[in-house]
Structure 1
Amino acid sequence: MMTGRTFGAKLAAGFGLTLVLTLLMTATSVLALRYVMTTKDKVVHTASTSLIEAQTLNALMEQRIGDYRAFLLSGTAEWLNTTNQDRRAFLDQVIRVRETLDDDTADKLLDTVSTAEAAHAAAIDEVVAKRQKIKSLVSTSQLSNDKVKPTRLAVQAAITNLLNRIKKIVNDIRKQSSDRATVAMIFIVGFGGLLVASAAGVAWRLSRDLRREVGAAVGHIQSSSSELEAAAAQQATGGRDQASAMNEITTTISELLITSRQIADSAQRVSKVAEDTAEAARTGDATIDQTRASINAIRAQVDQIVQHMLALGEKSQQIGSVVDLVSELAEQTNILAINATIEASGAGEWGRRFAVVAEEIRKLADRTAGSAKEIRTLIDDVRGAVNTTVMATEIGAKAVDAGSRQFDDATNSFRRIAQLVATTSDATREIELSTKQQTTAVEQVNSAASDTARASRETEASAVQTKQTAAHLSTLSGDLLDLVGTGRH
């Protein structure tokens, strides 16, 4: 009946049922007590009316006998009137006693009292008539009547029987009232025990449902927190690997920056040599040996430039490999962040904080991927500049080779040498310009690598925090299981 309801609804239903049972027990107790009180009131009414009226009837009879005897002794009309008033009071009391009776046997006994009183009154009337004729009473034997005493005893016996019957009725009603009170108490105790058992059953059912539902929910939370903790550990490992890779990238870029600066210095020296060669060719002050030396110097510089360009190309390839690794790590980090977000959303209210952390991790991964793309673009630019430099150096090398082959005709070829030197000078300026651009590009790559390394450290820190939070959530879920009494799983 409770399946599919929330625990709040179950608790409200259990409380409502307990309240209804409590009200029912209260109403039953009130009715039982009211029943007992009604019975007691009936006993009190019977005791205070029938019994008292019957006792009053007996007292009136004794008073009448006393007044009658006083008349016999005095013979005055005052005592006779008193005796007659006593009889009328007795007859009125008989009527009042009959009104209070609801028992047939008691009515019959009261009829017996009335009959005996009538016989006694007739006997008394005879004695009264005799007493009125006697002026001076010498002895009570003058008023002797054999009917007075038997009739008086008969009246007293009838009144005694009536009193005994009324007392028996009162005792029977008292016993019935006590029995009913006992039955009412037994019923209240039994019904109360039934209600207590029902309330205990409701409490047991609610406690069982609470342990079952909370245990299932906490089991899901523990499973999600374990998965989240494993994902955070994997993410932290990836962050550390990414940080190490970025450190290698930073080192490589630093070396590339040093190399590019060396290339710039070499280009400047080549430009200076070219200017000196051009000046020698224009003025003719330099000798053939100086020209040969200059050509050899140019060839050496060109070879050095070629070597630096080749080294720069290799470094660029290394950077490309590292950038590919960074891109792959960023993609893995993004996937882990998406998985963590999914797991956090499945955890409900408890996983909201993890969803925020996972979103921040995903943003950092996106930034890392963007930075890697920028690095890839810059590396492509560097490779283009290297290719341009290599081509320029190859042109210079060819020009130097041509000058060497035509060294015997150097005297007749000064003008051509001047032109070639001019070309070399332009090439060195291009090399210098390309090297400056390369230096700028490398500096940008270095800045991007620094941002990527910082993002990797932040990713690792966020992953560690996520792992700690997942462990704390697992501990809290265990505490919740202990609280509801299901025990730790």
Structure 2
Amino acid sequence: MMAGRTFGTKLAAGFGLTLTLTLLMTATSALALRYVMVAKDDVIKEASVSLVGAEKLSSTMERRIGDYRAFILNKSPEWLTATNADRAEFLKQVSALRESVAEDPTAMKLLEAVSTAEAAHNTVVGDLITTRQNMTTLNIDVLNDPRAKPAREALLAAIDALINRVSATMAATRTESSNRATAAIIFIIGLGVTLIACSAAVAWRLSRDLRREVGAAVGHIQSSSAQLEAAAAQQASGGRDQASAMSEITTTISELLITSRQIADSAQRVSKVAEDTAEAARSGDATIDQTRASITAIRTQVDQIVQHMLALGEKSQQIGGVVDLVSELAEQTNILAINATIEASGAGEWGRRFAVVAEEIRKLADRTAGSAKEIRAMIEDVRGAVNTTVMATEIGAKAVDAGSRQFDDATSSFRKIAQLVATTSDATREIELSTKQQTTAVEQVNAAASDTARASRETESSAVQTKQTAAHLSNLSGDLLDLVGSGRH
């Protein structure tokens, strides 16, 4: 599927796939956590409404009992009005509570029991109020009516049973919400393990492609190095032979006048060969320049990879800053919830509802802080992976720089060969000119022969150096194979 692409493209595709998997995991985790939070908030809200409504019934009934007792004591119309208002509010609260507990049959039965007990109690209270209205002075028997206490205790007991049922339902729904949160966490962990396995598979594929492609390229370099080494050896051997020939020319200088034309023809052919050799050296120089340009492009791509990885590290740090802010907000929320709980405990019966809400807010802040710690740990893992990738890329960049310097050395050697070939060509032209004119002395011919011998020795030395350079390039190719883990061929 990825065949035919450059390694840079494959690395970018692998990074993009890993980033996509990471974003997928983050989005899925956020959606799962949001689902759990919304569900838990709904449960807490519904249960809190029911519990608060049940507790309001108790407080309203306590207030009504106090109001009608005050009317019995002083027969004030204000207390009678307050008593009737308390009953109207009680009935309104029962109607509202009936809607919130409609899904709980047991709670509905208890609420009906409260309504029945309230009706019986209201009958007794109405009789006592009527009796007190017909009296001019307070009779203690009205307060000690035997029907009042059982009716009141039955009503309060029915309200307490309803409160206990609503509290038990709230505890059960809280447990169910916790189970949902646990299931969401297990789902996120499973998803994380799956995505890690996918990322490992992508990394293995990229590593295998790198070894394969670099191994093939290095194989071509080794083959070219072997050919260059063989050519240099042949050129060195030719240089030694040429030096021996020039020595024989020096010893047979007396025959130079007879064979001058032959020497001139040979010199012309040597000049032509030298020109061809110089042209080949220039072509090799141009090829190496192109190779150097390619290495420079590789170095640029490596630098871009390093910049992208550093940018990823900076984004990870920015995410870490956001997580720190979330942790700080969770901590502040926890402190505020604790303070609210303390204040609610000091408020007595009236602060009990607010204490329940404050406790749930504190638990939510604790879970938020725990999630922030987990996200911070994941960010540290990503940051460590980024640092490792940057170090590996820097090592590759250094290897590319070393290869570039070796190509510079090879370029210098080719230029030296071209210069030596040019020197040889000039010397042969001088020999050709001297033999054609036949006006120079034997000493000039001898000097020209010496120059030619020296040039041959320099050519031999340059050929030996070229051979060493080719061998060194072959060793570097083997080191590059070892670096990518493909082994030496």
Where in structure 2 are the equivalents of 1:395-410 lying within 5 Å? none
Between the aligned partners of 1:164 and 1:227, the Cα distance in structure 2 is 95
Inter-CA distance 96–38: structure 2 relative to 1 (3 Å threshold): same
Matched, 1:57 2:113: no
Between the aligned partners of 2:24 and 2:179, the Cα distance in structure 1 is 23
Between the aligned partners of 2:189 and 2:279, the Cα distance in structure 1 is 65
Inter-CA distance 245–136: structure 2 relative to 1 (3 Å threshold): same
* Bigger mean CA deviation after superposition, 4-13 or 340-349: 340-349
Between the aligned partners of 1:208 and 1:360, the Cα distance in structure 2 is 41
* Bigger mean CA deviation after superposition, 455-464 or 201-210: 455-464
Inter-CA distance 322–354: structure 2 relative to 1 (3 Å threshold): farther
Between the aligned partners of 1:115 and 1:335, the Cα distance in structure 2 is 119
Residue pair 1:120, 1:152 contacting (<8 A) in 2 also? yes
Per-residue deviation, 1:187: 1.1
What is residue 482 of structure 1 aligned with on the other side?
A: 482
Residue pair 2:284, 2:414 contacting (<8 A) in 1 also? no
1:144 alignment partner, SS class = coil
What is residue 188 of structure 2 aligned with on the other side?
A: 188
Inter-CA distance 326–237: structure 2 relative to 1 (3 Å threshold): farther
Gaps of 5+ in 2: 293-403
Q: Which AA in structure 2 matches 1:25?
A: M
Task: State the Cα RMSD in Å.
Answer: 3.8
Per-residue deviation, 1:188: 0.9
Q: Which AA in structure 2 matches 1:123?
A: V
Between the aligned partners of 2:409 and 2:442, the Cα distance in structure 1 is 39
Inter-CA distance 335–142: structure 2 relative to 1 (3 Å threshold): closer
Number of aligned pairs? 374
Per-residue deviation, 1:333: 11
Structure 1 residues 399-450: Cα deviation after superposition (integer angstroms, max 9, x where no partner): xxxxxxxxxxxxxxxxxxxxxxxxxxxxxxxxxxxxxx3xx16455334424
Structure 1 residues 128-176: Cα deviation after superposition (integer angstroms, max 9, x where no partner): 2123233444443786354x44543443343233323322332232122
Residue pair 1:246, 1:326 contacting (<8 A) in 2 also? no
Residue pair 1:50, 1:101 contacting (<8 A) in 2 also? yes
Per-residue deviation, 1:91: 2.3
Inter-CA distance 235–379: structure 2 relative to 1 (3 Å threshold): same
Of the two, which has the highest radius of gyration? 1
Between the aligned partners of 2:450 and 2:268, the Cα distance in structure 1 is 13
Q: Which AA in structure 1 matches 2:465?
A: Q
Gaps of 5+ in 1: 257-311, 383-436
What is residue 159 of structure 2 aligned with on the other side?
A: 159
Residue pair 2:239, 2:457 contacting (<8 A) in 1 also? yes
Inter-CA distance 63–240: structure 2 relative to 1 (3 Å threshold): same
Match of 2:417 among 357, 361, 367: 361
Where in structure 2 are the equivalents of 1:199-278 lying within 5 Å? 199-253=199-253, 256=254
Per-residue deviation, 1:2: 0.9
What is residue 125 of structure 2 aligned with on the other side?
A: 124
What is residue 307 of structure 1 aligned with on the other side?
A: none
Provide TM-score, normalisation by structure 2. 0.65
2:462 alignment partner, SS class = helix
2:3 alignment partner, SS class = coil
Identity %: 55
Matched, 1:43 2:43: yes
Residue pair 1:323, 1:375 contacting (<8 A) in 2 also? no
2:252 alignment partner, SS class = helix
Where in structure 2 are the equivalents of 1:385-400 lying within 5 Å? none
Residue pair 1:249, 1:319 contacting (<8 A) in 2 also? no
2:486 alignment partner, SS class = coil
Between the aligned partners of 1:443 and 1:323, the Cα distance in structure 2 is 21
Q: Which AA in structure 2 matches 1:119?
A: A
Residue pair 1:249, 1:449 contacting (<8 A) in 2 also? yes
Inter-CA distance 442–98: structure 2 relative to 1 (3 Å threshold): farther
Structure 1 residues 283-310: Cα deviation after superposition (integer angstroms, max 9, x where no partner): xxxxxxxxxxxxxxxxxxxxxxxxxxxx
